[in-house]
Structure 1
Amino acid sequence: MTVHGIWSYAPEFDHPEGHDLAGYSVEATDGTIGHVDRQADHSGMRHLVVDTGVWVFGKSVLVPVGVVARIDPESQKITVECTREEIKSAPAFKTDRETLDPAYLSTVGSYYQGLPPRGPA
């Protein structure tokens, strides 16, 4: 992925601390994956919990902010540097307790860091 780390936004985003991304749609490189249900920053591991809605019925996924390629506040859309299949194949997210589990977050981070690099969106 990118040099800035899997748990940090790229410096060019200048993402304000208090800016809530809940409700923003999330686009993979090959289509919509859902919308941001909530965002979190536990122990410096910033991530989004994305509700995949009808795409993967009843499932949410945890997405580290380091894969965010673009944030468009005007259209309330976030683009990530992953395909839909890569998001779907990420370690399963079952409960909110996992957002506090360092072992689970480490597994998620390793998965996303192992994805092939992509160019700018």
Structure 2
Amino acid sequence: MSTSSNWDPWNYRAEAGVGTGRDLTGLSVQATDGHIGKVDEATYDTDSSYIVVDTGPWIFGKKVLLPAAVIRSVDVEKKDLYVDLTKDQIKESPKFEEGSTSSDTAHRDDVGTYYGKYHNGL
């Protein structure tokens, strides 16, 4: 589900430079206004790719599910992954339950809709 026909939340954008086979686990995640955590898990499945970010103490140890399309770029040398979201947008995201995946249709729809409102027109 999305707010824009251009919004494809569950696939990496070509310009992000993720590519298949690139391990994103452990990369530092940078929001538009600063560091938010590290990539705990990443998937590369067509139409269901996402990353799980461990925010550590920043938002009380919360993990968040980010759809692949919010990734703007990856800097392998700096070990940074950049997303097109602010810290507050991520902090207010739908709650992610440990062990949940993007195959949970209701959660996937909630996440896609939530982030889609920030990416209308991508």
Confirm or deny a common fold (TM above 0.5): yes
Relative to the length of structure 2, the TM-score reads 0.85
Aligned counterparts of 2:113 and 2:81: Cα–Cα separation in 1: 22
Cα shift at 1:118: 9.2
Aligned counterpart in structure 2 of residue 66 of structure 1, from 59, 66, 69: 69
3-state SS in 1 of match to 2:111 = helix
Q: Structure 2: where are the runs of 5+ without partners?
A: none
Aligned counterparts of 2:31 and 2:120: Cα–Cα separation in 1: 14
Aligned counterpart in structure 2 of residue 12 of structure 1, from 2, 15, 27: 15
Could you say which residue in structure 2 is the equivalent of 1:107? Answer: 110
3-state SS in 2 of match to 1:49 = strand
Aligned counterparts of 1:87 and 1:49: Cα–Cα separation in 2: 12
Whose RCO is larger (CA < 8 A, sep 6+)? 2
Cα shift readout 1:84-105 (whole Å, capped 9, x = no counterpart): 0000001000222243301111
Aligned counterparts of 1:73 and 1:89: Cα–Cα separation in 2: 28
Cα shift at 1:3: 3.6
Return the letter of the residue paired with 1:75.
K
Could you say which residue in structure 1 is the equivalent of 2:34? Answer: 31
Q: Structure 1: where are the runs of 5+ without partners?
A: none
Aligned counterpart in structure 1 of residue 58 of structure 2, from 31, 55, 58: 55
Asked whether the equivalents of residues 15 and 72 of structure 2 are also in contact (C-alpha less than 8 Å), the reply is no
Residues 1:75 and 2:78 are matched in the alignment: yes
Amino-acid identity (%):
37
Could you say which residue in structure 2 is the equivalent of 1:84? Answer: 87
Asked whether the equivalents of residues 16 and 73 of structure 2 are also in contact (C-alpha less than 8 Å), the reply is yes
Which structure carries more strand by proportion?
1
Aligned counterparts of 1:117 and 1:82: Cα–Cα separation in 2: 13
Matched residues, number:
119
Runs of 4+ in 1 over 4 A off after TM superposition: 116-119
